[in-house]
Amino acid sequence: MNPPRTLQLRPGALTGEQIDALRTLGAHGTHDALRALGALLAAPVEGTHPRAHVAPRGLIDKVLAAGPEETFAIHFTIEGAARMRQLIHFTPVGAMLMAGLLLGAPVNAPLDRRSAVYQSSLAEAGNIIVSSYLNGVGAAVGLTLLPSVPHVIEGPLDRAARTAFAEMDEVILLVTDLRLPGVRIAGRIVTAIEEDGVGRLLSLVRGR
């Protein structure tokens, strides 16, 4: 017997109830990601409840208000029964604090942003965030979601957003701001759900 066909849902046509259901799934992922990152850094990490945005094709960077500020970003393609893409980016001050905590450097100690150890420590943090986030979402709906190898982008946030979400049609974005001690916005977790993934996730939420 063939599996039931997943309903294709255009993000702009989602109801408020459906968007809230996706935000709740994002909250499951955020909870696990914050817990794992806090354990990795041995420091308190906080995050906002996920916001939801509908982004037209080619305008994701505009919806995210992604400007020319420099960031350290890691993006992933998510495969499995619900396809997604994720972008993790750290603000300059957030990246410096996070790398310092991971490397055991004194607070406010200058770090070489171009060094391999600095970049690999932040890439590892991104891996932990994404893996934990997907475990949280997957556990909530009974799916296995697998991230690709990480792709690191250094430079303007708008370029990172365009690269991470290139060629995507209209999408629903789930956005969580990350906070570290003394840093109000240390970075963000941005999840873009593919159109077929939206229908799949919502069908599983309704079935539970």
Q: Residues 39-88: pLDDT tens digits?
A: 999 999 999 999 999 888 888 888 888 777 788 999 999 998 888 999 99
pLDDT at residue 44, rounded to an integer: 94
Please name every residue paired with 46 in a beta bridge, in sequence order, or none if there are none: 179
Dist. CA 205–CA 207, nearest whole Å: 5
pLDDT at residue 167, rounded to an integer: 81
What are the pLDDT digits (tens) for 130-170?
999 999 999 999 999 999 998 998 888 888 888 898 888 88
Residue with the two structure tokens 């990490």: 45
What amino acid occupies position 189? I
Strands 171-180, 151-156: pairing kind: unpaired
Residue 4 confidence (pLDDT) above 80: no
Strands 46-47, 171-180: pairing kind: antiparallel
Which pTM value belongs to this model? Answer: 0.89
Domains and CATH numbers, the chain: 14-206 (3.40.1550.10)
pLDDT at residue 1, rounded to an integer: 34
SS3 annotation, 132-177: HHHHHHHHHHCCCEEECCCEEEEEEHHHHHHHHCCCCCCEEEEEEE
pLDDT at residue 207, rounded to an integer: 57
Report the percent of the chain where pLDDT is more than 70. Answer: 93
